[in-house]
Amino acid sequence: MTAPAIELKGISKAFGPVQANKDISIRVMPGTIHGIIGENGAGKSTLMSILYGFYKADKGEIFIGGTKTDIPDSQSAIAAGIGMVFQHFKLVENFTVLENIILGAEDSGLLRPSLSRARRELKALADEYELNVDPDAIVEDIGVGMQQRVEILKALYRQADILILDEPTGVLTPAEADHLFRILENLRREGKTIILITHKLREIMDITDTVSVMRRGEMTATVKTVDTSPQELAELMVGRKVLLRVEKTPASPGDVILDVQDLNVTDAKGVHRVKGISFNVRAGEILGIAGVAGNGQSELLEVLGGYEKASGQITVNGTPIDLTGQKSDGQSRRRRGIAHVPEDRQAEGLIMDYAAWENTAFGYHHDAKYRNGLFMNNAAILQDTTEKMERFDVRPPDPKLAAKNFSGGNQQKIVLAREIERNPDLLLIGQPTRGVDIGAIEFIHQQIVALRDQGKAILLVSVELEEILALSDRIAVMFDGHIMGERDPAQTDEKELGLLMAGMTGNPSQVSVKDIEENLAHAGTGKV
Amino acid sequence: MDLLTLLQLLDSTLRLATPLLLACLAGLFSERAGIFDIGLEGKMLAAAFLSAAIAAVTGSVWLGLLAGIFASLLLSAIHGLASITFRGNQLISGVAINFLAAGLTVVIAQSWFAEGGRTPQLAGAARFNPITLPGAEALRDVPVLGPIYYELISGHTIIVYLALLIVPITAWVLFSTRFGLRLRAVGENPAAVDTAGISVVGLRFAAVAICGVLCGIAGAYLATALQAGFTKDMSAGRGYIALAALIFAKWRPVYCLWACLLFGFLQAIALRSDLIERVLQFNIQSQLLDALPYILTVVILAGFVGKAIPPRAGGEPYVKER
Amino acid sequence: MDVMPKWAEVILVPLISLLLAAVLSALVILAIGENPWDALKLMVDGALGSTYGWGYTLYYATNFIFTGLAVAIAFHARMFNIGGEGQAVLGGLGVALVCLYIPFPHWSLALITASVGAALFGAAWAFIPAILQAKRGSHIVITTIMFNFIAAALLNYLLVGALKPAGSMEPATGKFPETTHLPSFQDMFSFGEATLFRGAPANISFFVAIAACIALWALIWRTRLGYEIRAYGHSESAAKYAGISPTKIIVVSLLISGGLAGMMAINNVQGEAERLVLNAVEGAGFIGIAVALMGRSHPLGVFLAAILFGFLYQGGAELALWTSIPRELIVVIQALVILFTGALDNMVRMPLERFFLSRRKPPKPDAKSTPAVGTN
């Protein structure tokens, strides 16, 4: 019997008071694809970081190919034949592809010989595994799909036999994800062992041979993929029955609340991000904006939220809003009845070092009920926060706890409570469930639908197609700063939307991945 | 202005630019590796003191130079400890180092030499003396080229030539060697270096050490070549001006040379109020001329830098994250 | 996660840092051949052993409160104002102009007007670096340092020129008129026979400094502006999202900072020297950095740290007088305090955190709050 490619025995790891991994054991056979699935914060990434020598386990043993191996640092992991593709790529953005590949694996003190050897090997690898990249391109100029391939090539260039991929499809279009999976299958055929970390059930079902489920730092089950179902995996992940769908009735749209005409945005670096888009959102409907990250959705939200300049015309309730002058700031927007749940709650929506009560007033600190002349009315804010935390079931319900000490889902609830309870006419909401556990996702989705049913206009931006499909009453797809088209969620599917996300229309079956790639590279998307 | 005056001005420019250039390249190594260093000033000052002190005691400027480098390296080690090992605030660490140097040099100088916080005057082998390049005397009378060679190019101390030589060496190290690739990478994205199995801490300490060596040479030059001994606060803001030059040069070695020559030129002009008067027909108080390099530094920082992009990981301590 | 109790964070960490700085300073004293214990006794005796000593200690402390608050408010906006020195120089100019050219019937009016003048001049000197940082991205640290040099040159220029009384050889202004002289502690606290604080420079501006502490505390933690300044200091991207203008925060916080640094001049220029001399600031602007770091940018902390540095300064002067230890020792101590409380903070903090973590009880198994780890 062959030895497992990787075997972990009794791995435990704590960060301060938090137990991230508890007595985890796992075996992965060579030449297989093993999935690890779990919610945010389940401890998947910590486990893999231990395997890659990024962290040292408090307890436990690692066997590679049957031999007990110590992995105190990444160097040892690489030497043991392990390669890792992190969720956030570890590339030097202003280096070329080639420079990134040889970094840390140079042959000698001078760069020239290493670079020419890498160039030759890259060609061979590209032919073998469909891993095409332009060796001389600067990394920040290429799309995320190609950046990801550079990461895979980095691992293969270092002779990796075991490849770990952490949430690899988060930034890819569906077609690119399919391409990635073909690459992984090629690698499996060549005898490589692959560990795929994801929170997407579909990916697990599509490509893995075996799957392990993690919950709250523990490994709850390891099963053969063919013997399980998405429902079973979801229950194992969450520990209870979950709704995989959002319950909602058809929308009954009213007047136009938000009207956007010929909007153009050029960012601080001079890049034309939004290219003349027009759309509207009515009262009582959710307009979902789909698209791969970096295609102008963020800039759209920033303009509407008042912290990016733009040209064109935007009216709210029939009155134009200022896009460049004195009144194009967040305070004025809020006064016009626009509330905004930003895409990145940790960098934008919250001050992580502020207590929950201070965050409750954030952006609304000039409101009459929160102020007291030049001073803040701290007692009123505290009172208000206590009530909001109660209504939104924020845990722990402690208004004096700093935002950073809440879990992702509870942080998002604090933001949502603040923005929704302003009773806005228009709610902008970006990536509402990014980094949020499943229980909170249900709650947040229900809140959004309830707000719609109260007759609010909602603009939803999400890179999660499932979320867009589940929540939206209309879907607009953005690509390279354009709106590629609008679709009725009842009459479309992920395939069609996926093509639009790559800037293409037409019959899905007649378009090749290569075309998509070229289109994406041409548009230079994904430069987030 | 006649040719000779111009050459004297440029000659003085070169001499004054040398410590700036060395400090600027020192800062380049450190900042390219992601460690901001406003402690260049303090390191130069410490090096100036110890080099002058050792040169005075031993009579050997070379031992003085080594001692100066040692002093500067010691402060580099503190900066490395604070900003790399303990992930402290790099600006605050730099400020602390500047004060440490400003205070310690005088305290030690006073207790050692009891000359009011100075070192004894240096002379002879205890100083770096000008080198006359071959043929300088002979070619002196050739029109135009002769004076240029004799006045401007020849007749500097070895450190001046060394500093000029370090410019291409820096460029080569940075862009053609494995060390340079890793150094630049660690200043842009230390996580990339870390996951590639290279020690971020090791690389950054190496960069900080190189910075220390170069600052040490710069400081030794101040006290044993430009001047003949250490005086209190003799670095006079040069470390900060070198930083401004580094920003102006967009963290590129050859641009550093031009930026430092520019600032050296400004300092040279400030020393020659007679020239300004003659050219501009205008009487300027010497106090205002003293402020000239500082004013122009601000003007340059405000006006011309524009879109200089510093190393992206600069100033941020590296913390492993999942 | 907050692993340390608040008292450890607020008291223990700065105290240990201070102790480390003190030990190293003692080693320096030892190295130059003096006895640190004797030196300490001399310092305590000279700075705290008499109302005269206290009068000097509190005089210096007044300077440091102003400059410390100046650095602290900028820290809250995550700006590092190293220009306190130059701003205090300009504050002195403001005080001198007010006192020399406006006739005052009473010192109280002179104090108010001079305070305004000092604050305006200090703020103006901070304004240019602030606006350059906000609009052009010119690094505030470098520009404020340059402005220190420029301020020194400017003052030098004025004191050998326009502001020097005719016939005087000294680079200084003339004596301020009698009605602008501030009541000293000696004037205020001597009753009948007992003359306290005899000849010491501490004066009424000490109480202005205390008022400034209270005002700044209210500004930072109670006003909407303070809320915005702290928010910007924590996260620029979040501040933008909330509609807080970075330009406004940078400029306003640095104007307050420069104004506070400038106000130091009512103590050293109006209160003590009663004329403007060269180098009147004597590095107090820089000591503000150490004071703010040690006081954790909290006005109460700044007040206490300023008293400590007042003691060190006066004690250092006594040392220079009676031993061979030069006054620059205080610069060394100041550097060590900055180093340990500012840059090497983690060196003290990390072992302490481990200590408190090891004493913490393991979390109860029924604690249901999902910890925010592994959020990829």
**C147 in contact with chain B, both atoms CB, cutoff 8 A:** yes
Determine whether the interchain pair A78/B189 forms a contact, defined as Cβ–Cβ distance below 8 Å.
no
In this predicted model, which residue has the larger pLDDT, A487 or B315? A487
Minimal CA–CA distance to A459: which of A486, A427, A482?
A427
Query: Is residue A505 pLDDT above 80, yes or no?
Result: no
Residues 247-306 of C with CB under 8 A from B: 286, 289, 293
Task: List Cβ neighbours of C109 (8 Å cut-off, separation of 6 or more).
Answer: none
Minimal CA–CA distance to C238: which of A381, A359, B318, A333?
A359
pLDDT in tens, B151-175: 888 889 999 999 999 999 999 999 9
Which chain C residues touch B87 with a CB distance below 8 Å?
Answer: 346
Tell whether A311 and A383 lie within a shared domain: no
State the CB neighbour count (10 A cutoff) for residue A423: 10
- Residue ending a domain, among A203, A238, A273, is A238
Determine whether the interchain pair B322/C293 forms a contact, defined as Cβ–Cβ distance below 8 Å.
no
Indicate whether A343 belongs to any domain. Answer: no
Highest mean pLDDT among A124-128, A294-298, A359-363, B137-141: A359-363
Length in residues, chain A: 528
In this predicted model, which residue has the larger pLDDT, B275 or A425? A425
Which of C150, C161, C328 lies closest to B106 in CB terms?
A: C328
Query: Is residue A268 pLDDT above 90, yes or no?
Result: no
Q: A232-241, A306-315, A321-330, B227-236: which has the minimum mean pLDDT?
A: A232-241
Residues 32-71 of B with CB under 8 A from C: 38
Determine whether the interchain pair B192/A92 forms a contact, defined as Cβ–Cβ distance below 8 Å.
yes
In the predicted model, what is the mean pLDDT of chain B? Answer: 91
Determine whether the interchain pair B111/C33 forms a contact, defined as Cβ–Cβ distance below 8 Å.
yes
State residue A63's pLDDT score: 95
**A346 in contact with chain B, both atoms CB, cutoff 8 A:** no
Which residues make beta-bridge pairs with A482? A479
Tell whether A318 and A386 lie within a shared domain: no
| Cα(B129)–Cα(B119) distance, integer angstroms | 18
Query: Is residue C225 pLDDT above 50, yes or no?
Result: yes
Query: Is residue B308 pLDDT above 80, yes or no?
Result: no
**Cβ atoms of A169 and A89 closer than 8 Å:** no
| Cα(A102)–Cα(A211) distance, integer angstroms | 33
Tell me the CATH number at A494. 3.40.50.300
Task: List Cβ neighbours of B277 (8 Å cut-off, separation of 6 or more).
Answer: B283, B284
Q: How many CA atoms lie within 13 A of A415 on its CB side?
A: 37
State the CB neighbour count (10 A cutoff) for residue C5: 10
Chains touching chain A, criterion 3+ CB pairs below 8 Å? B, C
**A380 in contact with chain C, both atoms CB, cutoff 8 A:** no
User: Average pLDDT of A90-100?
Assistant: 95
Does A174 sit behind a cis peptide bond, omega within 30 degrees of 0 on the bond before it? no
Name the closest residue on chain C to residue A333, using Cα atoms: C243
Q: A157-166, A367-376, C8-17: which has the minimum mean pLDDT?
A: C8-17
Task: List Cβ neighbours of A380 (8 Å cut-off, separation of 6 or more).
Answer: A369, A370
Q: State the pLDDT confidence band at A137, using cuts at 50, 70 and 90.
A: very high
Name the closest residue on chain A to residue B308, using Cα atoms: A269
Residues 286-315 of B with CB under 8 A from C: 287-288, 290-291, 294-295, 297-298, 301-303, 305
Indicate whether A344 belongs to any domain. Answer: no
**A86 in contact with chain B, both atoms CB, cutoff 8 A:** yes
| Cα(C249)–Cα(C239) distance, integer angstroms | 10
Indicate whether A485 belongs to any domain. Answer: yes
pLDDT in tens, A377-415: 999 999 999 999 999 999 899 999 999 989 888 999 999
Task: List Cβ neighbours of B178 (8 Å cut-off, separation of 6 or more).
Answer: A106, A108, A109, A110, A111, A114
Of the candidate CATH numbers 3.30.2310, 3.10.450, 1.20.950, 1.10.3470, the domain formed by C61-307 belongs to 1.10.3470
The alpha carbon of residue A24 is apart from the nearest alpha carbon of chain C, in Å, by 15
pLDDT in tens, C51-65: 999 999 999 999 999
Query: What letter represents residue B144's amino acid?
Result: V
**Cβ atoms of A47 and A21 closer than 8 Å:** yes
Query: Is residue A355 pLDDT above 70, yes or no?
Result: yes
| Cα(A186)–Cα(A184) distance, integer angstroms | 5
Q: What is the DSSP letter of C165?
A: P
Q: State the pLDDT confidence band at C373, using cuts at 50, 70 and 90.
A: very low
In the β-sheet with A319-320, what is the strand arrangement from edge to edge?
A272-282, A256-266, A311-316, A319-320
* Strand duo A6-15 + A18-28: pairing: antiparallel
**Cβ atoms of A5 and A64 closer than 8 Å:** yes
Q: State the pLDDT confidence band at C9, using cuts at 50, 70 and 90.
A: confident
Tell whether A404 and A297 lie within a shared domain: no
Task: Print the domain residue range for A191.
Answer: 6-238
State residue B304's pLDDT score: 63
State residue A506's pLDDT score: 66
Tell whether A226 and A248 lie within a shared domain: no
Which residues make beta-bridge pairs with A338? A426
Q: Could you tell me the CA-to-CA distances from A313 to A264, A279, A316, A319, A485 in Å, in that order?
A: 9, 11, 10, 10, 20
Domain ranges of chain C: 61-307
pLDDT in tens, C151-205: 999 999 999 888 888 888 889 999 999 999 999 999 998 887 788 888 899 999 9
**Cβ atoms of C136 and C143 closer than 8 Å:** no
The alpha carbon of residue C40 is apart from the nearest alpha carbon of chain A, in Å, by 40
Query: What letter represents residue A58's amino acid?
Result: D
State residue A518's pLDDT score: 66
Determine whether the interchain pair C244/A18 forms a contact, defined as Cβ–Cβ distance below 8 Å.
no
Minimal CA–CA distance to A467: which of A496, A437, A498, A441?
A441
Minimal CA–CA distance to B209: which of B63, B11, B12, B33?
B33
**C146 in contact with chain B, both atoms CB, cutoff 8 A:** yes
Indicate whether A257 belongs to any domain. Answer: yes
Tell whether A131 and A203 lie within a shared domain: yes
State residue C358's pLDDT score: 81
pLDDT in tens, A449-471: 999 999 999 999 998 888 999 99
Tell whether A398 and A279 lie within a shared domain: no
Q: Sign of the CA dihedral B109, B111, B117, B118?
A: negative
pTM for this prediction:
0.90
Q: Sign of the CA dihedral C22, C23, C28, C32?
A: positive
User: Average pLDDT of A187-213?
Assistant: 92
Which residues make beta-bridge pairs with C274? none
In the predicted model, what is the mean pLDDT of chain A? Answer: 90
Determine whether the interchain pair A100/B320 forms a contact, defined as Cβ–Cβ distance below 8 Å.
no
Query: Is residue C291 pLDDT above 90, yes or no?
Result: yes
Tell whether A65 and A151 lie within a shared domain: yes
Tell whether A301 and A231 lie within a shared domain: no
| Cα(B228)–Cα(B56) distance, integer angstroms | 10
| Cα(B151)–Cα(B135) distance, integer angstroms | 12
Mutate to test the interface with B, among A52, A86, A92 (most CBs of B within 10 A): A92
pLDDT in tens, C11-23: 888 889 999 999 9
Start-to-end Cα distance in chain A = 47
Q: Which tokens in the block code for residue A438? A: 């499943």
Query: Is residue B64 pLDDT above 80, yes or no?
Result: yes
Tell whether A310 and A363 lie within a shared domain: no
CA B293 to chain centre: 15
Determine whether the interchain pair C153/B294 forms a contact, defined as Cβ–Cβ distance below 8 Å.
yes
In the β-sheet with A162-166, what is the strand arrangement from edge to edge?
A82-85, A162-166, A193-198, A33-38, A210-215, A218-224
Minimal CA–CA distance to A464: which of A200, A145, A89?
A200
Residues 342-361 of C with CB under 8 A from A: 357, 360
Which chain C residues touch A342 with a CB distance below 8 Å?
Answer: 241
Which residues make beta-bridge pairs with A138? A96
Q: Sign of the CA dihedral A45, A50, A52, A55?
A: positive
Mutate to test the interface with A, among C76, C230, C241, C353 (most CBs of A within 10 A): C241
Q: Which tokens in the block code for residue C152? A: 């020194």
Q: At what angle do helices A111-129 and A174-189 cross, to 10 degrees?
A: 100
User: Average pLDDT of B58-86?
Assistant: 97
Determine whether the interchain pair B184/A92 forms a contact, defined as Cβ–Cβ distance below 8 Å.
yes
| Cα(A408)–Cα(A428) distance, integer angstroms | 19
Q: Strands (DSSP E) along A16-142, which ranges?
A: 18-28, 33-38, 59-64, 67-68, 82-85
Helix spans in A392-455 (H): 408-420, 438-453
State residue B248's pLDDT score: 85
Tell whether A204 and A229 lie within a shared domain: yes
Taking the CA atoms of chain B, what radius of gyration do you get in angstroms? 20
Tell whether A124 and A152 lie within a shared domain: yes
SS3 C87: helix
User: Average pLDDT of C291-296?
Assistant: 93
Q: How many CA atoms lie within 13 A of B123 on its CB side?
A: 2
Residues 165-204 of B with CB under 8 A from C: none
Q: Could you tell me the CA-to-CA distances from C77 to A191, C233, C250, C255, C304 in Å, in that order?
A: 55, 4, 7, 12, 22
Query: Is residue C361 pLDDT above 60, yes or no?
Result: no
- Residue ending a domain, among A206, A238, A270, is A238
Name the closest residue on chain C to residue A330, using Cα atoms: C243
Tell whether A510 and A437 lie within a shared domain: yes
Determine whether the interchain pair B189/A93 forms a contact, defined as Cβ–Cβ distance below 8 Å.
yes
- Domain total in chain A: 3
Query: Is residue C369 pLDDT above 50, yes or no?
Result: no
* Strand duo A210-215 + A33-38: pairing: parallel
Which chain A residues touch B191 with a CB distance below 8 Å?
Answer: 88, 90
Taking the CA atoms of chain A, what radius of gyration do you get in angstroms? 24
A484-522: buried (b, 16+ CB within 10 Å) or exposed (e) per residue?
beebebeebebebbbbbbbbbeeeeeebebeebbebbbe
| Cα(B16)–Cα(B12) distance, integer angstroms | 6
Start-to-end Cα distance in chain C = 17
Query: What letter represents residue C207's amino acid?
Result: F
Task: List Cβ neighbours of A383 (8 Å cut-off, separation of 6 or more).
Answer: none
In this predicted model, which residue has the larger pLDDT, B279 or B244? B244
pLDDT in tens, A337-350: 999 999 999 999 99
| Cα(B160)–Cα(B220) distance, integer angstroms | 12
**C138 in contact with chain B, both atoms CB, cutoff 8 A:** yes
| Cα(C247)–Cα(C258) distance, integer angstroms | 16
Query: Is residue B9 pLDDT above 80, yes or no?
Result: yes
User: Average pLDDT of C35-50?
Assistant: 94
